[in-house]
Structure formats: structure tokens, C-alpha cells
């Protein structure tokens, strides 16, 4: 499994476990509601974006999606 496929799988599991859509995840994590769809369609991302997604997946804030950008 390549790293992007693995990342998409982890995002799917994260969203399913929390009852949020992938667009909500993208909006909260990278301020882009179409992020997951774009990556799934073959789009790329910067290392900084990859690190932000990894950090969000690792943080697991008590079953709640991460807050909107700019909030604590």
C-alpha cells in the first residue's frame, strides 16, 4: 500500500469513527473541504499539509473533529 492510499484509509476510518464527512475533516484540518476528494483523484499535497493531516489523525481529540483553523 502506498503512503497516499494508507493516508486516505486512515482518514476514512477517522471520519467514520467520529461521524463526520471527509469534507468536514478537510475543512477543519487544512481549510479545504475538497482536500480528500482531490487527493483521492490523484492530486498532490505539500509536506506541510501532509504533516498537518498526520498531526490531526494522531491527536484524536476525544472523538470530536479538530476545531476550525485558528482556534484552540
Each residue's pLDDT tens digit, 7-66 = 999 999 999 999 999 999 999 999 999 999 999 999 999 999 999 999 999 987 554 545
Q: Quick one: pLDDT at residue 6?
A: 94
Q: Quick one: pLDDT at residue 56?
A: 94
Q: How far is CA 13 from the centre of its chain?
A: 10
33 near 23, Cβ under 8 Å?
A: yes
**Model-level pTM greater than 0.85?**
no
Q: Quick one: pLDDT at residue 59?
A: 87
Domain ranges of the chain: 3-58
Amino acid at each position: 500500500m502506498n503512503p497516499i492510499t494508507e493516508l486516505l484509509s486512515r482518514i476514512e476510518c477517522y471520519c467514520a469513527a467520529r461521524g463526520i464527512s471527509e469534507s468536514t475533516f478537510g475543512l477543519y484540518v487544512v481549510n479545504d473541504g475538497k482536500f480528500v476528494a482531490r487527493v483521492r483523484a490523484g492530486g498532490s499535497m505539500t509536506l506541510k499539509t501532509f504533516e498537518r493531516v498526520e498531526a490531526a489523525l494522531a491527536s484524536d481529540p476525544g472523538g470530536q473533529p479538530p476545531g476550525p483553523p485558528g482556534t484552540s
